[in-house]
Structure 1
Amino acid sequence: MNSTDAPDGEDAASPAGHSGVARERRSRVPARRDDAMVQKANESIAIRPKKGRLTLLSRRIYNALLYHAQLQGVEERQYSIPLATLIGDAHFNSRNVALLKEHIREMQTTLIEWNSVGAGEQRWTSSQLLGAVEIAERGPGYPVIISWSYPDRVRERLLKPSRYTRILLEVGAQMRSYAAAVLFELGMQYLTSPSRLTMREDLHWWASVLTGRSDVEKVDYRYFKRDVLRPALAEVEALQQDFVLELIEHKEGRRVAELQFRVLRRSPPPVEVAQARNTFDLELVERLRQLGLKEEDADLLYTRTDEALLRATVEHVEQRLRNSALPPLTSTAAYLRDALKKGYAGVVPPPPAAMAEPAPSAVQASVQGIRDEWERAQARDCEARYAALPAEEQERLRQAFQEEAVPGLMAPIARAWERDGPSSRIAGPLFLRWLVRRWLLAEPTEKDLLEFAIARGMLQLG
């Protein structure tokens, strides 16, 4: 390797006493591909903090640092990359270095218990996730360099694990909750296990592992299942195509005492099935952004709101914006929140208490169900129409979508479009929705929806 390959300012960030060869190895940072994988030690997946807390971003940062450390080699004691590389690989959508430092401190101060089972031995270790970290700035014209190390007791087990799971960084980075990130990695770990059953642990253990918190005390399973488990399971299923997680509840009498997950391998679903299940949560979040919500506010609103209610309300607000007979809205985002609170879409908001969730009324379900089915039917028609077009016309439409819609999409969706085009599970439905808006002359009237429902046998009269 030629030393001229090193970026300007790299040597300044290298620790004193390291050889020139070591500096050159660290300075050459390969571009991360979308199929880049980190080999994550199995015992570092379902980690339970004993002191402190972990967040989704700290887990993303940890995986990105581990990926680059493994590229540079276990023989190194300290690792360095440009800070911009870490920001990109961790999908840290901010240049707020102070916030980044805060998440790094989480990993340095959070105490983790490591349990390893090897040939004829069991090993328990208490350690931090990261050792010393340094961010070096040399001024304008030079890249900012981040250097880090790992605690000696766990360094080799992390960088050259004997039992590990390959985690695709791109998919892991798309998870929007800490619990989903953990369950995704667990699913990948046990996908190749003969039993395909995860560990069986008590509620307190799972609550700590899936929230990244060490201060979990009493766990109310009704709330935990509603607020953590169900959203995380739905998110994992929506954002990857390898497996489905099945929740297994082990009871003592009538009380759920322990949990376990079964990993079911799946084939990529047909387009019609994927659309009918309406699992493209990133599409709904993107529509929230287009209505004026900041990305973090859209994420938070999605995780805290019943999905059917949120989707119906978004439809209502979009129709309100298209109605030129009404005065323009002063704040679309504020109107959306008010519509959610007051049920403008005709769907009653669910009660906040963790009681048994009542089913929506038959009338409410049918109105939204008819509109959803109508949209899916239009999307299928547009998909068939698009497939029948000549190749050059298809390319023209893809280019138009690229220019008109892609610049405003969330980064994961834009990358999925660049990679897979209309066949993408995430970006494909947005492309079809764009085609529907482009090819249809007007929104369906109530009469249109009624006739559609009758033709499909969707109405139960009498």
Structure 2
Amino acid sequence: MAEDDPPRSAPRQPPTAEEQSVAKANEAIAIRPKRGRLTLLSRRIYNALLYHSQRQGVDEPVYRLALSELIGDARFNSNNTELLKSHLRDMQATTIEWSTSSSSLKRWVSSQLLGTVTIEEQGRGRPCMVTWRYPEEIKERLVKPHQYTRVLLEMSSQMRSYSAAVLYEIGARYLTSPGRLSMREDVMWWAAVLTGRSDIKEVDYRFLKRDVITKAIAEIDALCEEFGLELIEHKRGRKIEEIQFRVVPKVQQRLGDIDSPNRNVFDLELVARLVGLGIKQDEAQDLYATTDEGQIRATLDHVDARLRNASMPALKSPAAYFKDALKKGYAGLTSVEPASSVAGATPALVAPAPVLSEADRLRRIRELWENDRTGKARAMFAEMLEPMQADLRLRFEAERLEQVAAPIARAWRRDGPDSRIAATTFFKWLAQETWPEEPSDRVLLDFALQRGVPGV
């Protein structure tokens, strides 16, 4: 290197989960759409796009990113770009209003949430790229905001409902304010903000509180270590007309009881399977956000098996059958019962069963195979002597702990293998260390046949 050449800087390391935060403009937190609808996935995608926009800089006319990186940062699991496109369209179709005022100027702006988006499939061996723009009127306020709240993508992505995701960001905004009180607004305003819907004409507060607010507060209490939220109701006479929230810092940090550290992964393939049965997209997403993922998957497998059973009367409505099966727990049955005794179905036109590609089937079987192997690792660990267990714990901490998400690492340091949120990560690592060989397609197929996996 010549003497006059500047020293080359070391390549920038990818940010950790703790460092992966977005400076979100305060106006963009409690968004009340005037047209269109926002969903949990569209909010996750929007935060991920904003994060990368801020890293690339406000002067960039257009932002560009590998689609795989966007999918990873938005924490959902699907290779179906059509589903991704539908959520991008939602953001483009959503109209928001920005109001600012100072001593000399009042300004109102009505704008799209997102501008032009392009997905470029560059051919075999080259990454699929996504590019996007923001409307010029609000770009600088989004990418280089003056007043903002620092939002961790990892923490935001833990939320399973849209209302909890919104309240988490509101809580983060007001956690450091003197009174720790959120904005005070009327019930109609909160209904639109907490559901992401623009078509709400009237609200029964009892149902809003029961079905949206209470569940979101409980979700934040279970997942957020920094704070909890208390609902404050303001009455006019006997009627509750306005509400706000008090942010309550948590003295003792905890993660709560979480069945799996992978709750932060929103599985779009499950949502697509629900839509394939005839359930509307919005309803499928709401159903996924409020129902145990394992229960949905098991019920879908049950419905698939029922649709393929040629000896039974055809289902008139697979969507209705699924909802009834989910409600009554048919997936727990050892076999598919006759339609007349299970769901009161009557013979009708044959409905086509959802068809999975060969790659999708193998991926689904591999998931089940890995879960089975993880269970074997858990049982093996339980039978070990304490010194062997201690050695494995130390190895895990030295080799793997720095790579896992911050909430999982904190849970491990506190509770070790007894932690419900960290145990799965540990036992998956132990399974990989014990049986490092990759399964062949033949091994996966044999496993599926032995277990009677539907769709094989």
Name the TM-score, length of structure 2 as normaliser: 0.61
1:209 is the counterpart of 2:193:
yes
What residue in structure 2 maps to residue 375 of structure 1? none
Q: Is the 8 A contact 2:115 2:132 kept in 1?
A: yes
Tell me which residue corresponds to 2:359: none
- What is the DSSP-based 3-state SS (H/G/I as helix, E as strand, rest coil) of the residue aligned with 1:280? coil
Task: Provide the secondary structure at the position in 1 that maps to 2:228.
Answer: strand
Q: Alignment partner for residue 423 of structure 1, among 404, 408, 414?
A: 414
2:14 is aligned, of 31, 42, 45, to 31
- Name stretches of at least 5 consecutive residues in structure 2 with no aligned partner: 1-10, 264-269, 275-283, 296-322, 333-381, 427-456
Look up the match of 1:135. 119
2:34 aligned counterpart, secondary structure = strand
User: Which of 163, 173, 188 does residue 147 from structure 2 map onto?
Assistant: 163
Change (3 A) 1:424 1:106: farther
> Matched residue of 2:46: which SS?
helix
Task: Give 2:238's aligned residue.
Answer: 254
> Which of the numbers 117, 133, 153 marks the counterpart of 2:137?
153
The whole-number CA distance in structure 1 between the counterparts of 2:103 and 2:60 is: 26
Residues 282, 413 of structure 1: 8 Å contact kept: no
Correspondence for 2:287 among 300, 307, 315: 300
Instruction: Evaluate the alpha carbon distance shift between residue 30 and residue 204 of structure 1 in structure 2; reply closer, same or farther with a 3 A threshold.
Output: farther
Count residues in correspondence. Answer: 318
Find the aligned partners of 2:68 and 2:56 in 1 and give their Cα distance. Answer: 18
**Is contact 2:261–2:422 with CA below 8 Å preserved after alignment?**
no
Q: Deviations over 1:20-62 (max 9, x none)?
A: xxxxxxxx99634211110000001001000111001000010
**Is the 1:32–1:89 Cα contact (8 Å) retained in structure 2?**
no
Where does structure 1 lack aligned partners over 5 or more consecutive residues?
1-27, 287-292, 311-332, 343-385, 407-411, 436-462
Matched residues in 1 for 2:65 and 2:232: separation? 42
Q: Secondary structure at the match of 1:50?
A: coil
Cα deviation for residue 303 of structure 1 reads 2.4
Q: Which residue identity is paired with 1:280? A: D
Q: How many Å apart are 1:200 and its aligned residue?
A: 0.6
> For residues 70 and 129 of structure 2, what CA distance do their matches in structure 1 show?
10
Give the whole-Å Cα distance in 2 for the aligned partners of 1:393 and 1:160. 49
Give the 3-state SS of the residue equivalent to 1:68 in structure 2. Answer: helix
Determine if contact 1:49/1:208 at 8 Å carries over to the other structure. yes
1:217 deviation in Å? Answer: 1.0
Q: The residue matched to 2:27 in structure 1 has which SS? A: helix
CA contact 2:416–2:422 (8 Å) conserved in 1: no
Give, in whole Å, the separation in 2 of the partners of 1:180 and 1:103: 19
Instruction: Name the Cα RMSD after superposition.
Output: 4.1
Judging changes above 3 Å, is the alpha-carbon distance between structure 1 residues 251 and 34 closer, same or farther for their aligned structure 2 residues?
A: same
Measure the CA separation in 2 of the matches of 1:107 and 1:426: 41
Task: Determine what percentage of the aligned residue pairs are the same residue.
Answer: 48
Asked whether the equivalents of residues 47 and 114 of structure 1 are also in contact (C-alpha less than 8 Å), the reply is: no
Distance change (3 Å), C-alpha of 1:198 and 1:341: farther
Change (3 A) 1:203 1:425: farther
Q: Contact 1:250–1:257 at 8 Å: present in 2 too?
A: yes
Cα distance change of structure 1 residues 83 and 131 upon mapping to structure 2, 3 Å threshold: same
What is the deviation of 1:398?
Answer: 7.6
2:54 matched to 1:70? yes
8 Å CA contact 1:175, 1:181 repeated in 2: yes
Higher relative contact order at CA 8 Å, sep ≥6: structure 1 or structure 2? 2
The one-letter code of the counterpart of 1:300 is L
CA distance in structure 1 between the aligned counterparts of 2:155 and 2:185, rounded to whole angstroms: 26
Deviations 1:60-84 (A, max 9, x none): 0100000000001001110000000
Aligned to 2:218: 234
1:42 matched residue in structure 2: 26
Does 1:267 find its partner at 2:251? yes
Letter in 1 for 2:257: F
Query: Secondary structure of the residue that 1:300 maps to in structure 2?
Result: helix
Q: Is the 8 A contact 2:92 2:114 kept in 1?
A: yes
Do the aligned residues in 1 keep the contact of 2:48 with 2:73 (CA within 8 Å)?
yes
Query: What amino acid is the match of 1:64?
Result: A
Counterpart of 1:280 (choices 244, 257, 280) is 257
Give the TM-score of the pair, scaled to structure 1: 0.60
Q: CA deviation at 1:156?
A: 0.5
The Cα shift of 1:267 comes to: 2.2
Q: Does 1:52 align with 2:36?
A: yes
Instruction: Report if the CA contact (8 A) 1:413-1:426 is conserved.
Output: no
Aligned-pair distance for 1:236?
Answer: 1.1
Q: Could you tell me how far 1:336 is from its partner in structure 2?
A: 7.8
How far, CA to CA, are the matches of 1:284 and 1:67 in structure 2?
A: 23
